[in-house]
Structure 1
């Protein structure tokens, strides 16, 4: 009986150890001030979006310049996959984590896991709701939303009827861009419909088709990103209407669409710069330097004019 009890206790201890998020001794990051000995993990929400591809490229280019090793993983817009991806990066012994959250709430658990292991976390473009994040490197999404609303007012006038295409529910960028937009729109525009299209071009097209049927008198559209805006334009073209659309990000497809006279405007970010600044922030944290909690990247409104 005693032997059986001891066996069960030993088995339980083995299982508990196996389930630990703590990396094995050989994979634990060593404290280092030398960039050439640093290893950074980058978790991107999706690489099926030009904006995040540019953000990833900015990280990789800056890390190469600094001599820092970087491991990139793609969450494919799946918050559960992203959590598993970050766990894997921790197991690989990264010195720091750069995370572009799919969902700001869902990512909080693994941020806290990294905190417990003293692995610094930098978030890019979107924040985490909980956990210790050393710095958020992002554009001022609230300001960008305000810029979009102000431009629509100047384009179609006060009290114009507007449709809003929202991003992924739960993403901080969705909340912040919507907040900034409504700070102006609720006073100067008439938002007649809004619906999530998850920052996706195909969903933007499908959602816009449905919203046009119920709101044929819409005068302008604000999309929380360029991918949804470009999808909305296709739906508008198919309907035979001419409705101004304002996006957000400034990706290459959007800029080309503006030049061609299709997309009306975009609030342009600089994703490659966000990536570069995130690597610099991670390096500074690992070298014991103090960094700002919020590191802003500049925005600009791009139109054909």
Structure 2
């Protein structure tokens, strides 16, 4: 190779290297970690997980969804791993307000925004925001409608969700506070069904045996699994019992249309997911995020069911 050609080659290489050094670095991949205490607990959580994934991807985030399987140690470890692996934000639906406070606090200290999704965290977790519903209002909405339809008198039974979760605590308080307004209504049963279909059916079977026709006037639950209980009661000729659920899947809509379910409360997992991802994105961009982002939870009854498509 001649000296002239060698100098040209070196000069060309210098131009290439200079251009490479001057080029902007590849944008860092943005990652959101999602921890749900138990994805398999009911279809609502499955819809929530899929909605969170879709909404995060729309905003350019890679997303990792972890199922906590209702194991506190596993859930804390998952949050710790999100921090160690450099995730930009975390969205968490905890099993109860207190058990993840330590790991969430460490994430906040590491300057990682943490959004509490649907299930609340204790204040000392210092989470960036809570995106969810007014749980006490949900319970009170059920109670007020029941009082109206029962004329302020009767025996009612309550099925609660998983004990210790923020929805269970809030909805139970709302139901009790609301029913206190009608001294003629008596709570004769209150047991956990854990949002589970089999436990729900087992409870209604027990209660129908225990309370003959006319002695049980209404049943409340914290989730849509109550449709199964309402259908069973109808099959046993117990049409006199009113059933009040929470959440609005397609089978709840159909049951209201058919007159099997008296009412439910709409709490859209798709809307909550969109708001949670947007809150995480705003926090990462340095924008102000409201500490509480609460959605409306309208009652669905035979009077408005035709105007309201199911949430999932």
- Tell me the CA shift for residue 195 of structure 1: 0.8
Matched, 1:248 2:240: no
* Match in the other structure for 2:97: 104
Aligned residues: 271
In structure 2, the residue matched to 1:30 is none
Secondary structure of 1:103 counterpart? coil
Which of structures 1 and 2 has the bigger CA Rg? 2
Q: What are the Cα deviations for residues 37-74 of structure 1, in whole angstroms up to 9, with x where unaligned?
A: 32101112333222112222221221121111111112
Q: CA separation of 1:191/1:96 partners in 2, compared to 1, >3 Å: closer, same or farther?
A: same
CA contact (8 A) 2:136 2:174 kept: yes
User: What residue ranges of structure 2 are gaps of 5+ in the alignment?
Assistant: 1-25, 304-312
Partner of 1:40: 32
Where 1:89 maps in the other structure, the secondary structure is helix
Q: CA deviation at 1:180?
A: 1.3
Change (3 A) 1:37 1:53: same
- TM-score, length of structure 2 as denominator length: 0.80
Tell me if structure 1 keeps the 8 A contact 2:160–2:191: yes
- Consecutive unaligned residues in structure 1, runs of 5 or more: 1-33
Matched, 1:182 2:176: yes
Question: Match for 2:187 among 182, 188, 191?
Answer: 191
TM-score normalised over the length of structure 1: 0.82
Aligned-partner SS, 1:41: strand
Using the alignment, how far apart are the partners of 1:75 and 1:210 within structure 2? Answer: 32
Q: 1:239: how far off?
A: 4.2
CA contact (8 A) 1:248 1:266 kept: yes
Distance 1:209 1:292, change over 3 A: same
**1:161 to 2:149 alignment:** no
SS of the equivalent of 2:255 reads helix
Tell me the distance in 2 between the aligned counterparts of 1:171 and 1:237: 30
Deviates more, 1:254-263 or 1:155-164: 254-263
Equivalent-residue separation in structure 1 for 2:77 and 2:231 (angstroms): 36
